[in-house]
Copies of this chain bind each other. A is one copy, B any other.
C-alpha cells in the first residue's frame, strides 16, 4: 500500500543465480548413492511386444535395476483419462513410447544396459492421420474407442438464421502443426526413496500437487507417501504439467532400487516424451452483415491426440469455445473431436488450444472484412467485447482492453498508410496484418475450486517467507508475488524469500496453469500480507502506545504517522512472539475467485478476469524464394495492470516469439510415424535474427477482480501471430496460406497457383 512497488520493473528474483550459472536445475542435482536412469523406447509407432529379454542387461556390472511394463503397477494414470502405465505393457502405441528402463551407477552403464535389452515386436498397422483414425474400420489404438478420445458440441443462438442474415459468408479449412515446448531445460526427475516408505521427487513441474496426485496414481501408492519439490525450472510452456512419463519412471526405478535415481531427458528423448502442442484441422464458416456485425460462426475442430490422452481434451474444449468470447457473438456452433493416432501424445502448450482457433478466426476476419469492403481492424473493433459485457458463453467481462489494444496496434504499425498499399518492389512485397486474442486468467473448470492459499511467515529479523505451491517456471510469477507482498507489508523486496513449491509444506494449489498465478495467488498474497501487517501493527501499537490505525510501515520501519516515533518490523515481529500468549507472526489466507464451473451446456463465468491482446505485424515476402521476413511487430497486451512491466514485456515478447515459431517454422516431422527432426538443428525455432526487435505495449484495463487490477499476461500474446502474419502475407502478395507452418515452399506454391489462376483468369 505504502511502498509503491506496483508498476515497477524489477528483475526476476531468481535472475542472478541463473545468469551466474549457480541455479541448480534437476540435472545438476546429485545425492549420495544416486543412480542414473535411462529409458528404452519403441522404434515402432504401433506394435505388439512379443518378447522382452532383460537378462543380459541385468547381468551387466553396475546395473542395479531393469524394469519393463510387466513390473509396473497395473493401475493406469492420466490427468483426464486413465490410459497409461509407467512403461508400455503388451503393446506400444507410438514410436518413442517407453518400454523398459534401467538404473545404473552411471549414465554410460545405463546406456550400455539399454543396448543389451532384446525386444521382439510384432508390428501393427499404424494410424497417423486423425481424420483417417476416425473413419469406420480404422485400426483401433485403444480397443472400444473408435479412436475418439474426446468430443464436444456447443451451439448457441440460431446459427442458420445468422448465416441467412449475413451479407458475406466465408468458409475455409486450416491446418495446424505440432509445436514442441522448446524450453531450454529438458524434463528430468530426481527421485529419492527414504527409509520410512516415502519418496521425495525433485522435478521442474508447473504444479507440485498435480504432479504428486499423478505420481500416486502411476505408482499406485497413497498421495501422502510422496513429496514433490519443484526444482529451478528452465521453462515449461505447458510441457511440464504432469503429462510426461519421466517422473513416474524415475520414481518407479528409485522405489525398485531402494536408492535415489536421476532421470534427465536428453534433447531427442525430450522431443519424444514431452507433450507437443496440439496439431489440429479446423473448418470454419462465418458470416457478417454489411456493417460488419458477426452474425454467425460455425466450426469443426479435429485434433490429433497422439497415442495417449493427456490434457488435449481440455484443449479441444478451449479451441471450440474460448475465442467466441472475444466478440459480441450471438450465434455460434462448434463441433470438436480429438482422435487417437500412433504418434507422440499431444498436450498442454501455452495458449492451451486457443491458438488452434486463433489462427482460423483471425484469418477469417480479414477475409470477411475485405469481402464487405471494411478495414479488418474496424471489423474487430465493430464486434469487440467491452467491459461489463457477458459473453455468449456466460463470461462476465470485468475488464476489456481489446478496443484499446486494437487501436494501439493499428497506430503503432502505421496501419493506415500501409494496409492495401501494395508496397515493396517487384520481388519483395510488403504487407501488414492484424490479429487479436482473448484468454482466461484462471479457470474454474478442473474442479469447483480455483483458489490459492498463501502462507506468510515473519522471521525475527523482520524478513518474510512466502510459502506457496504456485510454481514459477520461468515466467516470473514469484517475483510478482514477492513484489505484492513487499508492497503490502512495507518491507524491501530483498527481505522476502519465497520457497520452492514443496507438497509437504505448501498449501494445496494447482500451480502455473491457465495464466492464474498473478490474479489468483496475487489476490491471496494481498490478503495474507494484510493479515500479517495487522499483526505487526498491533504488536507495534502496543510498544509505541499508539493505535494501529495511526501507524504506517515503510521500508521495514513502523512509524506513527507524522512523527519519527517508531520501531522496526524486526522489533515488532519479536514483540509479537516474546510475550504471554505470543507467537511468531504469520498468516495463511485463501482466495477463491467469485467464478462458477460452467454448466452442462458449457455456460458459465469460469474465470475472474479475461485478458486481451492485439498484434499488428509488417512482413516482407520474397516472391522468388517464398521467404517471409517479419519487419515489425507491435503487440498490445491487456494485462489489467502491469505489476512488473518488465516481466509483462518479457511474457508478451516471449509469447509472440513462440507464436511466430508456430506460424513460420515449427512442426514435428514424422516418417511413417517416426519423429525425424527431434533436435534443434532440424526442428527450427525462431532465432534472434529471424525476429525483429519486438515492440509491445501494455494496456491497463484495471480488472475489478485483479490484485491492483492485474490479470494474467503469460498466454494472450501467443494467440495473434499466426493470424497476423498470414493476414500480412495476403496483404503483401494476395495469397492466403491456411496451413502452419507457413514455409517458403507453401508460399511459393501459393504464388505459383496465383499466377496460374491469374493467367487462366486472363
Chain A positions within 8 Å of B, measured between CB atoms, are 13-14, 16-18, 20-24, 28-32, 194-198, 209, 213, 216, 222-225, 258, 447-449, 451, 453, 457, 459-465, 467, 495, 497, 499, 502-505, 507-508, 577-584, 586, 588, 590, 592, 596
Contact of A17 among B23, B196, B579, B582 (CB under 8 A): B196
Contact of A13 among B13, B196, B209 (CB under 8 A): B196
Q: Check A224 against B461 for contact (C-beta < 8 Å).
A: yes
The answer for the CA separation of A592 and B461 in the assembled complex, in Å, is 21
Q: Say yes or no: A505-B507 contact (C-beta < 8 A), given A32-B24, A196-B16.
A: no
Q: Which residue of B lies closest to A197 (CB)?
A: B16
> Which residues from B are CB-within-8-Å of A17?
194-196
> Which residues from B are CB-within-8-Å of A502?
505
Q: Say yes or no: A508-B447 contact (C-beta < 8 A), given A29-B32, A195-B17.
A: no
Q: Check A582 against B577 for contact (C-beta < 8 Å).
A: no
6 more contacts with CB within 8 A, not counting A13-B196, A508-B584, A580-B592, are A28-B32, A222-B463, A223-B463, A224-B495, A224-B497, A588-B588
Sampled A-B contacts (23; CB under 8 Å):
A16-B196, A16-B197, A17-B194, A17-B196, A18-B195, A29-B32, A30-B30, A198-B497, A222-B463, A223-B460, A224-B459, A448-B580, A449-B579, A451-B577, A453-B586, A457-B508, A459-B503, A467-B505, A507-B583, A508-B583, A581-B590, A581-B592, A586-B588
> Which residues from B are CB-within-8-Å of A497?
198, 224, 504
The answer for the CA separation of A13 and B195 in the assembled complex, in Å, is 11
Q: Check B577 against A449 for contact (C-beta < 8 Å).
A: yes
The answer for the CA separation of A20 and B503 in the assembled complex, in Å, is 26
Distance to closest chain B CB from A579 (angstroms): 6
7 closest Cβ pairs, A-B complex: A17-B195, A224-B463, A22-B195, A583-B590, A508-B584, A30-B32, A505-B505
Q: Which residue of B lies closest to A18 (CB)?
A: B195
Q: Check A459 against B580 for contact (C-beta < 8 Å).
A: no
Distance to closest chain B CB from A500 (angstroms): 9
Q: Check B195 against A23 for contact (C-beta < 8 Å).
A: yes
Q: Check A448 against B20 for contact (C-beta < 8 Å).
A: no
Q: How many monomers of this chain does the complex have? A: 2
> Which residues from B are CB-within-8-Å of A449?
577-580, 582
> Which residues from B are CB-within-8-Å of A16?
195-197
Q: Say yes or no: A507-B195 contact (C-beta < 8 A), given A222-B461, A461-B222, A497-B224.
A: no
Distance to closest chain B CB from A64 (angstroms): 15
The answer for the CA separation of A542 and B16 in the assembled complex, in Å, is 49
Q: Check B213 against A504 for contact (C-beta < 8 Å).
A: no
The answer for the CA separation of A229 and B459 in the assembled complex, in Å, is 15
Contact of A459 among B29, B223, B463, B578 (CB under 8 A): B223
> Which residues from B are CB-within-8-Å of A499?
504-505
Distance to closest chain B CB from A34 (angstroms): 8
The answer for the CA separation of A400 and B631 in the assembled complex, in Å, is 87
Q: Check A508 against B577 for contact (C-beta < 8 Å).
A: yes
Q: Check A582 against B451 for contact (C-beta < 8 Å).
A: yes
Q: Which of A453, A508, A590 has the most CB of B within 10 A?
A: A508
Q: Check A460 against B583 for contact (C-beta < 8 Å).
A: no
The answer for the CA separation of A719 and B684 in the assembled complex, in Å, is 76
The answer for the CA separation of A28 and B32 in the assembled complex, in Å, is 7
Distance to closest chain B CB from A605 (angstroms): 12
Q: Which residue of B lies closest to A502 (CB)?
A: B505
Q: Check B592 against A582 for contact (C-beta < 8 Å).
A: yes
> Which residues from B are CB-within-8-Å of A461?
216, 222-224
Contact of A578 among B225, B448, B463 (CB under 8 A): B448
The answer for the CA separation of A499 and B499 in the assembled complex, in Å, is 15
The answer for the CA separation of A592 and B14 in the assembled complex, in Å, is 38
Contact of A507 among B453, B507, B586 (CB under 8 A): B586
> Which residues from B are CB-within-8-Å of A588?
586, 588
Q: Check A583 against B453 for contact (C-beta < 8 Å).
A: yes
The answer for the CA separation of A583 and B459 in the assembled complex, in Å, is 25
Q: Which residue of B lies closest to A494 (CB)?
A: B197
Distance to closest chain B CB from A204 (angstroms): 16
> Which residues from B are CB-within-8-Å of A578?
447-449
The answer for the CA separation of A688 and B216 in the assembled complex, in Å, is 45
Q: Which residue of B lies closest to A209 (CB)?
A: B460
> Which residues from B are CB-within-8-Å of A577?
447, 449, 451, 508
Q: Which residue of B lies closest to A258 (CB)?
A: B22
Contact of A453 among B28, B216, B584 (CB under 8 A): B584
Q: Check B451 against A213 for contact (C-beta < 8 Å).
A: no
Q: Which residue of B lies closest to A592 (CB)?
A: B581
The answer for the CA separation of A483 and B742 in the assembled complex, in Å, is 65
The answer for the CA separation of A547 and B285 in the assembled complex, in Å, is 56
Q: Which residue of B lies closest to A216 (CB)?
A: B461
Q: Check B460 against A213 for contact (C-beta < 8 Å).
A: yes
The answer for the CA separation of A506 and B87 in the assembled complex, in Å, is 38
Q: Which of A224, A465, A579 has the most CB of B within 10 A?
A: A224
> Which residues from B are CB-within-8-Å of A32?
24, 28-30
The answer for the CA separation of A497 and B225 in the assembled complex, in Å, is 8
> Which residues from B are CB-within-8-Å of A460?
209, 213, 223, 508
Distance to closest chain B CB from A19 (angstroms): 9
> Which residues from B are CB-within-8-Å of A222?
461, 463
The answer for the CA separation of A497 and B17 in the assembled complex, in Å, is 32
Q: Which of A194, A503, A580 has the most CB of B within 10 A?
A: A580
Distance to closest chain B CB from A262 (angstroms): 10
> Which residues from B are CB-within-8-Å of A579?
448-449
Distance to closest chain B CB from A227 (angstroms): 8
The answer for the CA separation of A232 and B13 in the assembled complex, in Å, is 32
The answer for the CA separation of A447 and B584 in the assembled complex, in Å, is 13
> Which residues from B are CB-within-8-Å of A13?
196
> Which residues from B are CB-within-8-Å of A209?
460
The answer for the CA separation of A603 and B457 in the assembled complex, in Å, is 34
> Which residues from B are CB-within-8-Å of A198?
497
Q: Which residue of B lies closest to A22 (CB)?
A: B195
The answer for the CA separation of A580 and B582 in the assembled complex, in Å, is 33
The answer for the CA separation of A90 and B581 in the assembled complex, in Å, is 45
The answer for the CA separation of A195 and B457 in the assembled complex, in Å, is 22
> Which residues from B are CB-within-8-Å of A223?
459-461, 463
The answer for the CA separation of A216 and B460 in the assembled complex, in Å, is 11
Q: Check B20 against A195 for contact (C-beta < 8 Å).
A: yes
The answer for the CA separation of A271 and B449 in the assembled complex, in Å, is 57
Q: Which residue of B lies closest to A32 (CB)?
A: B30
